[in-house]
Structure 1
Amino acid sequence: MFRKAVLASLCFLAVTHTQQVGREVTETHPRLQFQRCTRSGGCQTASNGQITLDANWRWLHVTDGYTNCYTGNSWNTTVCANGQQCSQRCALEGANYRETYGISTNGNALTIKFLTKSQGTNIGGRVYLMDSDSRYEMFYLLNKEFTFDVDVSKVPCGINGALYFIQMDADGGLSKHSGNKAGAKYGTGYCDSQCPRDMKFINGEANVEGWGGSPTDPNAGTGRYGACCAEMDIWEANKISNAYTPHPCNTPNDGGYFRCTGKECNQPRYEGVCDPDGCDYNPFRQGNREFYGPGKTVDTNKKITVITQFITDDNTATGTLVDIRRLYVQDGRVIQNPPTNFPGVLDPFDSITEKYCTDQKRVFGDNNSFARDGGLAHMGRSLAKGHVLALSIWNDHSAHMLWLDSSYPVDADPNQPGIGRGTCPTTGGSPKDTEQNNADSQVVFSNIKVGDIGTTFTGR
């Protein structure tokens, strides 16, 4: 769906991607336990699980001092006037995770706060799971299942506590791009299916050319280039609504990292190299109004276990992806994903298959860029290459998160299939509202597991 980085203004801290490494703050990754599971060996805790903060949230300053290279939504052109010069003259600093960014870990649990005040105010955050100090953990999900626990009880309308996979490079682009001296250790190399143009550095060079500040966000802007790759949204959610969504891309390397420009960047929206909408399964949008939410079948006042299974045609890791299934566990009880509830209009699908996506797009009147970009089979080819796990919390300057938790488009009949996505008001979700009234919001992810199907959860 729609995604836009929500960045903070931190007084002397700027928010950006970079390639050089600073020496003012030692980069120490918080440890985060996760498990790999097999039928023969059970679940084993990985020995070196840790997280790193995305470079878009870090302080960027000149290599020989404290002058910001980027402040607010503008580059400091007196410091660097072009991409190569910025790569050479600007350094990315280490992060003070808890005090500055509201990010903390405890055993197998990760907490990301929405708003944190220190020297300035940080809004949102995004981290990646790593298998060492310098490489992202790579997940290979075909014929596997991925499970985690989540607490969204403090994630209200207009805010998204998200967990998703993207086909990033394991080293953050360090080996491919000579200008990148920071790599995965400092959270470089982000990409997704929206081909975001608000990334300050792409391919090891600053995205200075054509840069303009956002008209709605004083801490963000866009440049000429974007960063595209395939994306598998496992969990886009707050306490009102949730969705899981595959987004294939027609980039080199079956959806791998690609620097786009012009139409390639989904400008206009459906003319790019990636599927911006994806094929989503949101229980509310599928007509199940009492399934997910406070006090409902899946009660968002409590911790939830979420299981996602990636089924191939021959039940092997080399087969073709044909089905993405969802289960929940709460209070020791396995809860099946509810079937689509539009009798006589749409068949009762309860998982993401190619036929589900085709029929859903037709009935909802959505653009089928999912099929154009290869559908489930192409998504599977991307997953076979390995994906990086991203975990975040953010608000939405573009569409106020209405596509997730309200009626969208706002001028359509909310009773029409596909329009209602949640019970949040169409007038809500603005960043100003969420930042003023929901400063204590946070998401907690825990108990992350990946393994053979049927090995990562229990329940009756």
Structure 2
Amino acid sequence: MYRPLTFAATLLSVVRGQLVGTETTETHPSMTWQSCTAKGSCTTKNGKITIDANWRWLHVKGGYTNCYTGNEWNATACPDNKSCATNCAVDGADYRGTYGITASGNSLQLKFITKGSYSTNIGSRTYLMASDTAYEMFKFTGNHEFTFDVDLSNLPCGFNGALYFVAMDADGGLKKYSSNKAGAKYGTGYCDAQCPRDLKFINGEGNVEGWIASSNDENAGVGGHGSCCAEMDIWEANSVSTAVTPHACSPIEQSRCEGDTCGGTYSADRYAGVCDPDGCDFNSYRMGVKDFYGKGKMVDTSKKFTVVTQFIGTGEAMEIKRFYVQGGKTIAQPASAIPGVEGNSITTKFCDQQKDRFKDRYTYKEKGGTANMAKALAQGMVLVMSLWDDHYANMLWLDSTYPTDKNPDSDLGSGRGECEVTSGVPADVESQSPDATVTYSNIKFGPINSTFG
């Protein structure tokens, strides 16, 4: 909901470029997943993984000089947005050695901090590919479900192991923007409902103009542009809390925005943009059921489990249902225990009631609500798998009391998890849990009731 998507990184240069360098060959790790037509009838697909271009080494073309170091641009190579795209090249990745990314069979493990000979990497954002040059596009045209296994037993307070869909272009914007020479192969084209402005390149151009270095993240900043698109957060979670959250946008597809009119986490006016930054979330703890999810609870996060998300129907009538499978048992998401908010799934009625009871701004409805989310899902979305900490709100919106001045016993909706309001500070998370990992595996996609049970 308040996900800022500012990923810390301390590589020699970890940024998003549009030209292609030749110092490191880009070899995508392989990861299989399954497309199902009915229960017990699934076909294995040979997918690949690519890391977002924001993490990659960006250097002057034909040389080794960094175009971006820490949170500052090279003024010679990048005096303006267009020159930066012309002068700088993004290079291939050493997935395991530099980024702590390991793919094996149908499994992908992301390690939080990876220390190499010349760099330290923190967090990652990866995409599932259909080929070496195109992202896999998942189309939910009505009555589909998406299933995966997850092990986040090693993710305490302050972390987010996030698996979600965004309305990116399949080729990473390669055809749409002539100055983008890298495309999906090198992880370009990111967008989400926060209209992130920490991206180093947007629409094939640099984001150097207006760039302001972060005050609490030595590797990040905010530029003059942002990149917006619809977002379906299937899974934002650590071992303490989880939420499933659709974010509507109008327009749905990727679009570039200007400065604070972007809205979202990075802008002075959170609600100024074309997207809904808050979403309509279902977090069982926030909905009053505190014994359902966590270590030793009904869904025991000390062990691996299966997450099933069903999209039933189309348009405004679409329903988003959640099941878990663990220890041979299918466990339905619990019904809301908040008086006046009914059900255990996300529907237009649920969102109407929740926003009213929690007294939250209803930007989800303002940006087209479930009807627009259903349209985005039907058009096709890219699967993102990531691991990150939060330099804007310490992940308290997911796993603690937020806003922190609220009383979770009396202010409905402010209690989101058991973590202390002092938890989640990135400096603490990074020093205390450098070996944190999340593992996503056994991805399946198909008609309702075809992927589990």
TM-score range, shorter chain: over 0.9
Matched position secondary structure for 1:32: strand
Write out aligned runs for 1:341-380 (5 A): 341-342=337-338, 345-380=339-374
For residues 160 and 40 of structure 1, do their structure 2 counterparts lie closer, same or farther at Cα, with a shift above 3 Å needed? closer
Aligned to 1:409: 403
Q: Deviations over 1:240-270 (max 9, x none)?
A: 000000001012xxx1000001343114101
- Shift of the alpha carbon at 1:320? 5.2
| Aligned AA (2:195) | C
Give the conservation status (yes or no) of the 8 Å contact 2:341–2:354. no
Give the conservation status (yes or no) of the 8 Å contact 1:229–1:256. yes
Q: TM-score, normalised by structure 1?
A: 0.95
- Shift of the alpha carbon at 1:64? 1.7
1:14 aligns with 2:13: yes
1:435 pairs with one of 416, 424, 430: 430
Matched position secondary structure for 1:131: strand
Q: Deviations over 1:422-446 (max 9, x none)?
A: 0000001000000000111000000
1:322 pairs with one of 318, 324, 329: 318
- Shift of the alpha carbon at 1:172? 0.1
Which segment drifts farther, 347-356 or 89-98? 347-356
- Shift of the alpha carbon at 1:180? 0.4
Give the conservation status (yes or no) of the 8 Å contact 1:192–1:229. yes
Aligned to 1:299: 300
Aligned to 1:161: 161
Q: Distance in 1 between matches of 2:323 and 2:39?
A: 23
- Shift of the alpha carbon at 1:39? 2.1
| Aligned AA (2:330) | V
Give the conservation status (yes or no) of the 8 Å contact 1:310–1:321. no
Q: Distance in 1 between matches of 2:130 and 2:229?
A: 21
Give the conservation status (yes or no) of the 8 Å contact 1:340–1:346. no
- Shift of the alpha carbon at 1:15? 1.3
Give the conservation status (yes or no) of the 8 Å contact 2:159–2:395. yes
Q: Deviations over 1:202-226 (max 9, x none)?
A: 1100011101101111100011100
Aligned to 2:99: 101
Which segment drifts farther, 139-148 or 95-104? 139-148
Aligned to 1:85: 83
Q: Distance in 2 between matches of 1:218 and 1:44?
A: 45
Q: Distance in 2 between matches of 1:277 and 1:187?
A: 26
1:283 aligns with 2:284: yes
Count of residue pairs brought into register by the alignment: 445
- Shift of the alpha carbon at 1:404? 0.1
Q: Distance in 2 between matches of 1:29 and 1:234?
A: 24
The sequence identity of aligned pairs, in percent, is: 57
Q: Distance in 1 between matches of 2:272 and 2:23?
A: 43
Q: Deviations over 1:300-357 (max 9, x none)?
A: 01101000001115xxxxx655210000000110001100012xx2233100000100
Matched position secondary structure for 1:366: coil
Q: Distance in 2 between matches of 1:265 and 1:348?
A: 33
Give the conservation status (yes or no) of the 8 Å contact 2:223–2:259. no
Q: Deviations over 1:164-220 (max 9, x none)?
A: 000000000000001000000000000000000011101100011101101111100
| Aligned AA (1:124) | G
| Aligned AA (1:21) | V
Q: Distance in 2 between matches of 1:281 and 1:401?
A: 16
Return 5+ residue gaps in structure 1 as ranges: 314-318
Q: Distance in 2 between matches of 1:410 and 1:341?
A: 22
Aligned to 2:33: 34
Return 5+ residue gaps in structure 2 as ranges: none
